[in-house]
Chain A
Amino acid sequence: MTKPRVPAIDGWFTMDDEPRLIGLYDQGTGSYFFPKDVALSAAPGRAGVVLREAELSRTGRLWSYTTNHYQPPDPYVAPDPFEPYTVAAVELTQERMVVLGQLAPGVEPSSLELGMPMELVLDTLYEDDEAEYVVWKWKPVTVPASVQAIRENT
């Protein structure tokens, strides 16, 4: 029996095939905010202004990355045995903000380069008897082989 896939936190991202982070947008200043329910910030003079919920772009460029080789303390839920994981920082081009996320599994950190295009995907953070808990992760944009061939030939 397949376990249900549920978000590891409610309301922070959409659960579809092309997932997006859910943030806030200030129409008066053009500023975006993420995440929306904690560590609230505002542009000066804009506290208390009603912001509208906004789905953020799902692509950006790699700002930096690091691989953790030690198991973090609680409340991180680590697999047993512990496996190193990579955290990537990606600058969303339109929103001009850097957003952290783990690197999607199967991506070799040594293949990463600052500035490379990245996209948002969903992946398992941890699971228990009841459910599989998913979170957003970053993955290099996959360029279809046909497009790659055209690029290399021009």
Chain B
Amino acid sequence: MSKNEVAVLGVGMHPWGKWGRNFVEYGVHAAQAALADAGLHYSRVDFLAAGETIRNGYPGFVAASSFAQALGYTGIPISSNYAACASGSQAMEAARTRILAGMCDVALVVGADTTPKGFLAPNKGERVLDPDWLRFRLLGATNPTYFGLYARRRMDLYGATERDFAQVKVKNSRHGYQNPFARYKKIFTEEEVLASPLVAEPLRLLEICATSDGAAAVVLSSLEFARQRATSFPRIAAISTITPTYPDTWIDMPKFATDSAAGITAPDRGFKDSIAYAAYEEAGLGPEDMSMAEVYDLSSALELDWYENIGLCKPGEAERLLRAGDTTLGGRVPVNPSGGLGCFGEAVPAQAIAQVCELVWQLRGQAEGRQVENAKAGITANQGLFGHGSSVIVVR
């Protein structure tokens, strides 16, 4: 058992969509839902951590302050965290370490975003020293470009087919269509997916995640505090926020080139494999102990990469798992029972927190219409731009 456990007292979300309102409003909604779920008043919160949004001006950069102000300043310390898609995990880690250090009993973690239409684009201006700006300028390397490279590689190395990629989307749409917080509540067929326009070949429009407005929040506490209130509660057993080990030989956004493995040998375990591995190590658990996983399906094909990265199977075997129904609800280890990004779209600072919300609902048996039977433990995995690992293990 992990020595670093904290309790999850409450979880809450604002529905994902394209609502066009202030991100603070969504964050407050999710925070209040999580507090109500925990049966706590905000005045009991000792610490507030938030994932930042860089697309909402100054209030987005100081997200924790924006939420604290909107919830009514109580003088508590706060922490705003940015790690791209992994921002939510960093905020949860800030809260967890403070609890484990004995510096607070109850912490609130919030992430919320309001997103513009279309591709995620770099910041404006002539930014010739910013690799994120330069990759758009010199290569036209959008985020889906990188997803397309990975997908093509799976096809040529492992025999993945366009049908496999479409089936990931079909599976996730079936998982999430009854999820009250999902943006896309529609069951897609393979034919519909394969009839959607190509974006980054071989990937199609319905296989690439959209950007969404949304918010998620969790209330964490020490085990001691939680035991005074309940006999049983989901616990976070591990949070991994690791960075790569040099040389990182996988071509990731927003890079032009990988590290070189010419002089120094690449580590046996690559960065994406090491993200979940660090979480398993901390929790004292392994992939075989997981009842389910919430992984970052920025593209349908990327979900297959994650099966291997989180140890559900060996490299090259993900298609076999998918085809056998192992990762479908009712299968051995359902992946993305929430519907994943395919049903939600991405609300960057909220997404890693939303993954944890789903695991908590599953572990409590409250995931109506998408319940994983006898769920005992689950893992989340994602990765933020510029080498941010993110993986959380929640147990009951």
Which residues on A are within 8 Å of B, measured CB to CB?
Answer: 8-9, 23, 26, 29-35, 37-39, 41-44, 63-70, 72-78, 85, 87, 89, 94-102, 109, 113-114, 125, 135
A114 CB to closest chain B CB (Å) equals 4
With A26-B263, A68-B148, A100-B141 known, 5 other A-B pairs at CB within 8 A are: A38-B134, A73-B119, A75-B122, A87-B149, A96-B260
Chain B residues with CB under 8 Å of A9's CB are 128, 134, 138
Contact A97/B249 with A72-B136, A73-B121, A87-B145 known, Cβ cut-off 8 Å: yes
Instruction: Tell me, yes or no, whether B246 is within 8 Å of chain A by CB.
Output: yes
29 contacts between A and B (CB under 8 A): A9-B128, A23-B257, A29-B263, A29-B264, A30-B263, A31-B259, A31-B263, A33-B257, A37-B129, A39-B256, A43-B264, A64-B156, A66-B200, A66-B203, A67-B148, A68-B200, A69-B198, A70-B119, A70-B142, A73-B118, A73-B142, A74-B136, A75-B126, A77-B137, A78-B140, A85-B140, A96-B249, A101-B139, A102-B140
Cβ contact within 8 Å between A95 and B262: yes
Contact A94/B136 with A64-B152, A74-B121, A114-B156 known, Cβ cut-off 8 Å: no
Instruction: Tell me, yes or no, whether B201 is within 8 Å of chain A by CB.
Output: yes
Cβ contact within 8 Å between A41 and B256: no
What's the count of A-B pairs with C-beta under 8 Å? 157
- Taken together as a complex, chains A and B put the C-alpha atoms of A135 and B141 apart, in Å, by 14
Cβ contact within 8 Å between A30 and B139: no
A112 CB to closest chain B CB (Å) equals 9
B362 CB to closest chain A CB (Å) equals 34
Cβ contact within 8 Å between B131 and A38: yes
Instruction: Tell me, yes or no, whether B144 is within 8 Å of chain A by CB.
Output: yes
Chain A residues with CB under 8 Å of B70's CB are none
Cβ contact within 8 Å between B145 and A66: yes
Chain B residues with CB under 8 Å of A72's CB are 119, 136, 140, 142
Select from chain B the residue with minimum beta-carbon distance to A24.
B260
Cβ contact within 8 Å between B262 and A76: no
Q: Which of B115-162 contact A (CB under 8 A)?
A: 118-119, 121-122, 124, 126, 128-131, 133-142, 144-145, 148-153, 156-157
Chain A residues with CB under 8 Å of B145's CB are 66, 68, 87
Cβ contact within 8 Å between B141 and A87: yes
Q: Which of B245-273 contact A (CB under 8 A)?
A: 246-247, 249, 251, 255-264
Cβ contact within 8 Å between A34 and B153: no
Instruction: Tell me, yes or no, whether B20 is within 8 Å of chain A by CB.
Output: no
Which residues on B are within 8 Å of A, measured CB to CB?
Answer: 118-119, 121-122, 124, 126, 128-131, 133-142, 144-145, 148-153, 156-157, 197-203, 246-247, 249, 251, 255-264
Cβ contact within 8 Å between A30 and B118: no
Chain A residues with CB under 8 Å of B151's CB are 66
- B260 touches which of A32, A85, A101, A113 (Cβ 8 Å): A32
- Taken together as a complex, chains A and B put the C-alpha atoms of A42 and B119 apart, in Å, by 31
Cβ contact within 8 Å between B131 and A65: no
Contact A8/B138 with A38-B129, A68-B144 known, Cβ cut-off 8 Å: yes
Chain A residues with CB under 8 Å of B202's CB are 66
Chain A residues with CB under 8 Å of B121's CB are 73-74
Chain A residues with CB under 8 Å of B198's CB are 67, 69
- Taken together as a complex, chains A and B put the C-alpha atoms of A98 and B139 apart, in Å, by 14
Cβ contact within 8 Å between B153 and A114: yes
Cβ contact within 8 Å between A70 and B199: yes
- B247 touches which of A31, A74, A114 (Cβ 8 Å): A31
Chain A residues with CB under 8 Å of B249's CB are 96-98
A32 CB to closest chain B CB (Å) equals 4
B201 CB to closest chain A CB (Å) equals 4
- Taken together as a complex, chains A and B put the C-alpha atoms of A66 and B351 apart, in Å, by 27
Select from chain A the residue with minimum beta-carbon distance to B116.
A73
Select from chain B the residue with minimum beta-carbon distance to A85.
B140
A64 CB to closest chain B CB (Å) equals 4
- A30 touches which of B157, B251, B259, B262 (Cβ 8 Å): B262
- Taken together as a complex, chains A and B put the C-alpha atoms of A66 and B156 apart, in Å, by 12
- Taken together as a complex, chains A and B put the C-alpha atoms of A137 and B124 apart, in Å, by 25
Chain A residues with CB under 8 Å of B263's CB are 26, 29-32, 43
Cβ contact within 8 Å between B140 and A66: no
Chain A residues with CB under 8 Å of B140's CB are 68, 72, 76, 78, 85, 87, 102
Cβ contact within 8 Å between A100 and B257: yes
Select from chain B the residue with minimum beta-carbon distance to A42.
B246
Cβ contact within 8 Å between A94 and B262: yes
- Taken together as a complex, chains A and B put the C-alpha atoms of A37 and B134 apart, in Å, by 12
- Taken together as a complex, chains A and B put the C-alpha atoms of A39 and B385 apart, in Å, by 12
Cβ contact within 8 Å between B136 and A31: no
- Taken together as a complex, chains A and B put the C-alpha atoms of A30 and B247 apart, in Å, by 12
Q: Which 5 A-B pairs have the closest CB atoms?
A: A30-B263, A66-B148, A73-B121, A32-B260, A96-B261
Chain B residues with CB under 8 Å of A41's CB are 246, 259
